[in-house]
Chains A and B, each alone.
Chain A
Amino acid sequence: MAERAGEKTVRSNRTDDPVAAIELLKVTRSFGSRKVLHEIDLAILRGELFGLLGPSGSGKTTLVKLIAGLDAPSGGSVLLLGERMPNRRVLGRVGYMAQSDALYSELTGKQNLEFFASLYGLSGARRTERIASVMKLVDLTEHLNKPVSAYSGGMKRRLSLAVSLLHEPELLLLDEPTVGIDPVLRQSIWTELLSLRDKGITIVLTTHVMDEADRCDRIGLIREGRLTAVDSPEGLKRASGASTIEEAFIVLGGGTRA
């Protein structure tokens, strides 16, 4: 609990903190002899909504896991919220949503949330209040007491998102958060993400969807483990002379117009 009190003070002066939320310095990751990430240098600022865009197998998930501390880089270093990774405590200030839903299907949505909330040190009335609040956010309040095995794919995705928001993290790492979610709900989730960003929360998400990329503050294009471009959507379009992100992605990503 003392730990959490400390976090509060950090959070209150976060917006005018110039330090980057995430700093990657020459990060590489190899599986065996195969290099999956090549010397990634990237700084993501506090309060930024950053999108990682890249084709399947380009290394987005690998990069997000490195940032989340679930994996260690083969070379280079990761700084998270000013702390050098690995660092267990800083994980309490990060919300993580994996690409595949990590939920206990035997348990109800509420029991899942109660469990994860306890892992982040939430208890009692505050836990109840947070659970109600995130479930309202993802529009699952009426399914709170259903077992997760009876949830649809999109409902599970939303519950995963709710889990990552439970402890009011100052940094959100979302790996393809809107896959399998219908357009109406996706709209409302994006509205929420933008309002979280406006509250000063740093968000890093991966996506395949171009119109989502367009709404990010900045985008990192990743291709075969290399960060090929990092800029705002407008900047990318300007640099590539393209009118849409999709075209810019094709031009900047591989250097060829396929």
Chain B
Amino acid sequence: MRIRALALRIVRQFIRDRRTIALLFLAPLLVLTLMYFVFNGQSVKPDLATIGIPAEWHSKLEQAGAKIEPYSSLPEAEADLRKGKLSAILSTEGNRFSVRLEGSDPSESKSALLLIQQTLQSDIERDLTSSAWSAKLDISYEHGEGRLTSFDSFGPVLVGFFSFFFVFLLAGVAFLREKTTGTLERLMASPIRRFEVVFGYLAGFGVFTILQATLIAWFSIQALGLYMDGSFWLVLLTNLLLSLVALTLGTLLSTFAGSEFQIIQFIPLVIVPQVFFSGLFNLDAMNPWLQKLSYAMPLYYGADALRGIMLRGEDLPDIQIDIYALLAFSIAFIVLNMAALRKQRAF
């Protein structure tokens, strides 16, 4: 009864606050769309300078998506390479082939190198006995059939991140306002139980969280065409659990904040580290001891589950550890929230 009243009140407050609704629902879509255009655009066409390369290779490289610019002398090409006009120079000297890469943009260099390797390896193998390129590459893909763009591969993490971030922010600010305007104290002067306050908040925010999670998942998969190999319901479940953690963590931390600005100060402390450990960046090269930090971060489990579901088509048994971890975080934060409310009323 009191839980319902609290939830209804939160819904009513939200509906009156158009800006906040927009932040919750439209901001994630906007940023996702931007990310989509940045990382999913046409792959960069490497500019290749060629010197003394057979003409038939030119057309092959061009078909593979390179922009070919024949040069007559190496120094001339190298000058342009230095200025950044070229991605790579492909040249022959006697019967040796050499590729010189521009190198300041690793992804561009990599794509240039890959393109050269893939289009020319069979020819090089046949025509010359170059020791360096003699092995024939046999490329195949376990997931995504080679169609995955970088957006596809970190899209699932973003989907989880936005559910987490915006719910954290809004719940934190909403609960803080309750505290600073004195309404929380007024609430505690009524015979409400502490758990009713916490669950009222969960229920009220839950309504918007479900809508937001559905919208983000639907938009990224249907409208942006994010690669999706698993069950939509599992994506939704994971997103919901992530938002639940965000909600309980946000309200908990707002107990330690005195103003909206102090909530913002939690972002670099609480949100940013989680982004680093969530799988956006490959952690294999990191100190194994540091890697273990990711086990303390809710977003890590959410992102792991979402990637599993969307990229590898994993089912519930495969992601259950992540689900349990998220549930455990939520329960722990709920208990801590109830304890923190003791600050408002001694019992």
> Which residues of chain A are within 8 angstroms of B192 by Cβ–Cβ distance?
119
Chain A 54-75 interface 0/1 with B at a Cβ cutoff of 8 Å (1 = within): 0000000000000011111000
| Chain B residues whose C-beta falls within 8 Å of the C-beta of A114 in the assembled complex | 5
- A residues less than 8 Å from B183 (CB atoms): 102-104
B186 and A107: CB pair below 8 A? no
Report whether A71 and B5 are in contact in the complex, using a CB–CB cutoff of 8 Å. no
B5 partner residues in chain A, CB cutoff 8 A: 114-115, 118-119
Q: A71–B188 Cα gap in the complex (Å)? A: 10
Tell me if B126 is interfacial: C-beta within 8 Å of chain A.
Answer: no
Q: Are A107 and B191 in contact (CB under 8 A)?
A: no
The chain A residue sitting closest to B184, CB to CB, is A102
Q: Whole-angstrom distance between the alpha carbons of A114 and B193 in the complex? A: 18
B189 touches A94 (CB 8 A): yes
CB-CB under 8 A for A88 and B347, given A116-B190, A118-B5? yes
**A68, A118, A147: which contacts B1 (Cβ < 8 A)?**
A118
Min CB distance B153 to A, Å, is 41
Interface pair B186/A102, CB less than 8 Å apart: yes
Cα–Cα distance between A69 and B9 once the two chains are bound (Å): 24
User: Do A107 and B13 touch (CB < 8 A)?
Assistant: yes
The CA of A246 and the CA of B6, in the complex, are separated in Å by: 44
Determine chain A's interface SS by DSSP, over half rule.
Answer: loop
Q: Quick one: which of A77-100 are within 8 Å of B by CB?
A: 86-92, 94, 96, 98, 100
Alpha-carbon distance A163/B189, docked complex (angstroms)? 12
A68 to B312, CA, bound (A): 57
Q: Does A240 contact B (CB under 8 A)?
A: no
Does the CB pair A92–B190 fall under 8 Å? yes
State the Cβ distance, A194 to closest chain B Cβ, in Å: 24
Least CB distance from A35 to B in Å reads: 18
| CB-contacts of A91-147 with B (<8 A) | 91-92, 94, 96, 98, 100-107, 111, 114-116, 118-121, 123, 147
B193 near A88 (CB under 8 angstroms)?
yes
Whether B16 sits at the interface, judged by CB under 8 Å, is yes
